[in-house]
Structure 1
Amino acid sequence: MRISSMVALSIMALTLVAVLHGCMAAQLPSECNIRDLIPCKPALTEPNPLPPSEVCCSLLSKGDLLKCLCRFKDSPLLPSMGIDPNLVVLLPKKCHLPQPFICLS
């Protein structure tokens, strides 16, 4: 009986972790979707990042993705996607966007 209680407790703990992970991902504003970085991935992948594509820079110039970069930089999901968080904040400069870009936190 003790083994089945331990198994049940383990399953509940894993379920809680999965739910909390989903909640953390959902805390970004609705306009911030980390998957929007996928067109920029070649420019965000070490060891030899490529220049950002026109599609990537176009997404940044529209503004919505640009507003999210600082939040994406701190996301624990980026490394699991093969994206270097430190390269994320360099995208505006690499795309030659006119306004200065600074993450305050």
Structure 2
Amino acid sequence: MSDDERPLLHTIETPPDAIARGGHEVLRAFVVDGAVSVALRRSFDDPFTWGVLLVDIARHAARIYAMEGALAEEDAYREILAGLQAEIERPTDPGSTGPLN
């Protein structure tokens, strides 16, 4: 497949503080044909820290909903947590992880 034939890939910018101070990317997630595709590195000695990271991401997502006027931040956060709980209790797709993830 040539570059001209490749589907358009929509990415987001690197956060300004990471550009200014450095760091390493720990998580990249894409929606591909309605499913989530993830690349990540372990990054933390303690798996507990992943829980903190995931909640921090949920808070950021809730703020985005509020900034765009779609929902109040608290309502969006509550819905995100409800989705997390539902997925924990009844996984829709356990997926798989390979060495490139």
Common topology (TM > 0.5): no
TM-score, structure 1 length as denominator? 0.28
Using the size of structure 2 for normalisation, the TM-score is 0.29
The structure that has the greater radius of gyration is 1
More helix by share: 1
Higher relative contact order (CA 8 A, sep 6+): 1
Higher fraction of strand: 2
